[in-house]
Amino acid sequence: MPEEGLADAFGVTEEARAKINLALHVTGQRLDGYHLLDMLVTFAEHGDRLGFLPAQADAFTLSGRFGGALAEDGGTNLVLRARDLLRETVGALAFPVHIHLQKNLPIASGIGGGSADAAATLRGLMRLWGTRLPEDALAMLALKLGADVPMCMESRPLIARGIGEKIEPVPDLPAFAMVLANPLKGVSTPEVFRRLATKDNPALSLAPRVPNTADWLAAIDAARNDLEPPARELVAEISAISAMLQASGALLTRMSGSGATCFGIFATMTAAEDAAAALHDARPDWYFQATETVSGGM
Ligand code: C5P
């Protein structure tokens, strides 16, 4: 369904922006097995889109480049889990709803597609059902759906600590011109965490104020994604895709989340769009998407 089509057909629409881990440091592990992380996170203009409409009975439809892949992956649909969990919480207000998901983001790809969809579902259904939860209750409900869902509720630049639930906005993070690149090989997040050699790496350390984009790039460059080495062991293409981004003029490249998506930051959106087009010509079977990220002062 084209963008305008979604807005015309569904009264309430929500963006589920791709989540980009500019840095991800693994600093420890909780007794329940979850890892303690320090993350610098931003969000892309590009993402999935969702529409919500009152209906006689609950319905769920899919479109978009990766809609087919999600349909085959029934057990992991976070949109339906988010709908059911919110309904349990708000009770009689929660009339039946038709939810449409335009799945533009590859699944199991380290850019939080499922988490962003779950967060967008919570936001969209609260609007449709005319209800708001207290901030604490909403944050707990989001965390129940996944460690990345609370930050996707925000969808603006932030630092997340704990397992992802301790969130601080980063208002001075600028927008970046970016290319997202994925070899369309899904990665199992638990498997990447299991392969980590060390779990108590140095924390993320950022100056209290970073004055401009060049300094931000230097600060991000000095940070890491600790999940990149184990993910590269699982998916050999990550090394190739990162080298391709670098060769096409990226100022900085890194893997996001548990992979396999890598991002390249470019000097301008024109440079990013040209690089994405050339990379697509070289590997039409992979995913390359130029996108601007949101700025902290949005
Ligand atoms: O919370 P979510 O469902 O996104 O996490 C998927 C899996 O990734 C968890 O079951 C856990 O194995 C691993 N994980 C972790 N530490 C985190 C987040 C996720 O070990 N902070």
Q: What ipTM was assigned to the predicted interfaces of this complex? A: 0.94
C-beta 189 within 6 A of ligand 1: yes
Burial 230-250 (b: 16+ CB within 10 A, else e): bbbebbebbeebbebbeebeb
Which fold would CATH assign to domain 177-292?
A: Alpha-Beta Plaits (3.30.70)
Q: Which residues are catalytic?
A: 19, 148
Q: Where are the domains positioned within the chain?
A: 3-169, 177-292
C-beta 34 within 6 A of ligand 1: yes
Q: What is the pLDDT of residue 55?
A: 97
CB 40 within 8 A of CB 256: no
Measured in Å, residue 70 CA sits from the centre of ligand 1 at 20
CB 263 within 8 A of CB 178: yes
C-beta 148 within 6 A of ligand 1: yes
- pLDDT-derived band at 3 (thresholds 50, 70, 90) equals low
**Does residue 278 sit in helix, strand or coil?**
helix
First-to-last C-alpha distance (Å) of the chain? 28
Which fold would CATH assign to domain 3-169?
A: Ribosomal Protein S5; domain 2 (3.30.230)
CB 23 within 8 A of CB 223: yes
| Fold agreement (3-169, 177-292) | no
Measured in Å, residue 122 CA sits from the centre of ligand 1 at 20
Q: What is the pLDDT of residues 27-81, one digit of tens each?
A: 999 999 999 999 999 999 999 999 999 999 999 999 999 998 887 765 568 999 9
**pTM assigned to the model:** 0.95
**Locate tokens 């009339």: which residue?**
95
Q: What dihedral do alpha carbons 145, 146, 149, 151 form, nearest 10°?
A: 150
